[in-house]
Structure 1
Amino acid sequence: MTIRRHSDDPVITALSALAPDAGFTRGELERTGGRRLRWVESATAGPTILLAAGAGDTVLDWGTILPALAADFRVVAYDRAGLGASDPSGRRLTIDSQVDDLVALLDARGPALLVGHSWGGLLAQHAAAARPGQVAGVVLVDPTHEEVMAALPKRLQLGSEVILGWIVALKAVGRFDKWLDKHARGLADRCTDDPAIRELLVTAYHASYAGIAQVAAIRAENRLASAVPAARRARATLVPPDVPMTILTATRDKPPNLQIRSAELADETAAAYPRGQHIVIDDSGHYIHHDQPAATVAAIKSAAG
């Protein structure tokens, strides 16, 4: 395990400008085959929070809440295999392989409060079950659930697969980067009003998806997140640990029947934990930490005690 300042890392540069008092550094954890798993970490003296982003997302996706969290907590956020500055896994992605990486980071930087968004929320549940002694609690931000994925209308499933099928080709001809720039600027606008810091965030975002392999990792993760049978098998063996658990769910951007089903599954998930609770965040889409950052931070701080 190595921790470096990495002043030439555009992600560290952007996050240091966004939260100048946080003292962000870059860490690298060596994994199977010599590949490196990259994370960023604040220098704050406080309890540790470990952030796991959604499918295809990197540490930058947490930019809307990182400054507020880093004021009171040692924040660790990582790029999964193949994304951002983390090396590709060199093998087919599975739920087990992604949970293993998260558990290794938890072992290295924990104990911690695990916070996972979307796909990261599903991984956080499995990591907490694997290492209950390293987990102070779990916060799930509109987490992926395989039964919601199973209930998606066929047209939405087909549309998603068409996009994923073309995403690498779009990167090769430059079309992906145009979409990425728009997405990056939208996120940067949510993070800060400072135009100079916004540009640093956009530059860091482009660096995080500069190569074909990084874009291929987006496709691989999203396909894994849609693999309902594998997720069902994994959940069948999941034993929720006796740790505080909070699940946050969104209130919009889903078809009505899926909104209802998502709420039902969130209630079931919370009930499976001895100290589980379900909180609905008003006026929020799937990226709750983007739409309602203050409410997300408040929930995380409350979970951290």
Structure 2
Amino acid sequence: MGSAKHGTGADAVGPGHSQGEAARARTRDGRELYYQRLPGPAGTAGRPTVVFEGGLAAGRSYWAGVQAALADVAPTVVYDRSGLGRSPAAPAGASRRLAALADDLGDLLDHLDRVEPGGSYVLVGHSWGGPLVRLAAAAGPARVAGLVLVDPTDESCELLFQPSVRRTERIGQAATVVLARLGLLGRAYRALTAALPPDAAADMRAEGYTVAMTRTRGRELADTAGDLRALKQNPPGLAGLPVTVVSAGRVSPGMPRTVRERATASHAYRARQSPHGRHVVLPEADHLVLTTSAAELAEEIRRLLV
């Protein structure tokens, strides 16, 4: 599936970019995924690499604050799924359902295995990235040292199967498309962008709020209920891997108190399914835990590294 291609032209990042050196990994069907890697400190050979997986249509830049907080303990990798950031879109008609996204993450891990053989990984997934990293871990548990699920979407939350959730998804997608076409989408996320290091914030403003992103978002929303139903019917086996589930303690737009409580209950359930499960509520975080409580989230990831 090819070796690393370091950044040139549109891929180039400035020296000392907060998210690391740029490269590309090839998927099994020939697509390329853009990623950045921070090497971590000297003297940590053999320590797992932390690989971050974003939520719905969320690219690599969201993770910059958490990456920075882990720079003194382990290597970290962030990447863009196809159609996000600097990764070209998948061909028309190619699945962007959850299982296909998990296959892509597996391909990225295969690539990293070839670049540095013998390594292991802590997979960190936010929101829709939570079930995604569970699927990827189940496909290759021997190379996974642990999982951190960050305010994840979880199929044990029955609320997610309600028709009202599908309506909310459709309305949210339509609004996102309109705001992107008007060039206003970034304004809705100004606080999020401002919380990032300056270089990652610049990348986010340039790449994170585009019409192209909304097309990818629509494809990832194709059948979330079907994807969650598939997880219920065939739960990913995690072979006793350590699993930390992090819940937000505050409400946020689209997640009022009743929804927040049900989501948190589903997170507690998910942690109980692992013999090495841990459930943590971060009281100052809202759903965007990775920016509203980046340092606290980093501490939970550290627990699986040291």
CA pair 124-10 structure 1, distance change in 2 beyond 3 A: same
CA pair 223-283 structure 1, distance change in 2 beyond 3 A: farther
Shift of 1:141: 0.6
- Helix, strand or coil: the match of 2:95? coil
CA contact (8 A) 1:121 1:144 kept: yes
Question: C-alpha separation between the residues in 2 aligned to 1:11 and 1:145?
Answer: 36
CA contact (8 A) 2:84 2:213 kept: yes
CA contact (8 A) 2:186 2:209 kept: no
1:110-149 map, 5 Å: 110-148=119-157
1:86-97 map, 5 Å: 86-90=87-91, 91-97=94-100
Question: C-alpha separation between the residues in 1 aligned to 2:95 and 2:269?
Answer: 31
CA deviations on 1:60-91 (whole Å, 9 max, x unpaired) are 00022121212321101111111111122221
CA contact (8 A) 1:251 1:282 kept: yes
Question: C-alpha separation between the residues in 2 aligned to 1:189 and 1:161?
Answer: 28
Shift of 1:49: 0.5
- Helix, strand or coil: the match of 1:27? strand
1:146-157 map, 5 Å: 146-148=155-157, 150-151=159-160, 157=166
| Residue 104 (structure 1) aligned with residue 107 (structure 2) | yes
Question: C-alpha separation between the residues in 2 aligned to 1:31 and 1:39?
Answer: 13
Alignment match, 1:180 = 186
CA contact (8 A) 1:10 1:203 kept: no
Question: C-alpha separation between the residues in 1 aligned to 2:60 and 2:30?
Answer: 22
Question: C-alpha separation between the residues in 1 aligned to 2:55 and 2:169?
Answer: 16
Alignment match, 2:35 = 39
Identity of aligned residues (%): 25
2:214 partner amino acid: V
Q: Name which of 215, 225, 229 aligns with 1:228.
A: 225
Question: C-alpha separation between the residues in 1 aligned to 2:99 and 2:164?
Answer: 29
CA contact (8 A) 1:167 1:219 kept: no
CA pair 33-113 structure 1, distance change in 2 beyond 3 A: closer
Question: C-alpha separation between the residues in 2 aligned to 1:261 and 1:42?
Answer: 36
CA pair 242-149 structure 1, distance change in 2 beyond 3 A: same
CA contact (8 A) 1:119 1:143 kept: yes
Q: Name which of 192, 195, 199 aligns with 1:190.
A: 195
- Helix, strand or coil: the match of 1:16? coil
**Higher mean Cα deviation, 126-135 or 149-158?**
149-158
Question: C-alpha separation between the residues in 1 aligned to 2:160 and 2:213?
Answer: 29
CA contact (8 A) 1:5 1:26 kept: yes
CA contact (8 A) 1:190 1:290 kept: yes
Alignment match, 1:213 = 212
Question: C-alpha separation between the residues in 2 aligned to 1:2 and 1:29?
Answer: 7
Structure 2, unpaired ranges of 5+: 113-118
2:155 partner amino acid: E
1:190 partner amino acid: A
Question: C-alpha separation between the residues in 1 aligned to 2:194 and 2:205?
Answer: 15
CA contact (8 A) 1:4 1:25 kept: no
- Helix, strand or coil: the match of 1:114? strand
2:266 partner amino acid: L
| Residue 30 (structure 1) aligned with residue 33 (structure 2) | no
- Helix, strand or coil: the match of 2:65? coil
2:205 partner amino acid: H
**Higher mean Cα deviation, 84-93 or 270-279?**
84-93
CA contact (8 A) 2:28 2:107 kept: no
CA contact (8 A) 1:10 1:204 kept: no
CA contact (8 A) 1:65 1:289 kept: yes
CA pair 235-76 structure 1, distance change in 2 beyond 3 A: farther
Structure 1, unpaired ranges of 5+: none
CA deviations on 1:154-195 (whole Å, 9 max, x unpaired) are 656424312313544554xx41x3222552x42342134xxx
CA contact (8 A) 1:209 1:215 kept: no
Shift of 1:302: 0.8
Instruction: State the aligned residue count.
Output: 288
CA deviations on 1:243-297 (whole Å, 9 max, x unpaired) are 1110000112133332222222112211111211111111211111211111101
CA contact (8 A) 2:147 2:242 kept: yes
CA contact (8 A) 2:176 2:185 kept: no
Which structure has the highest helix share of the two? 1
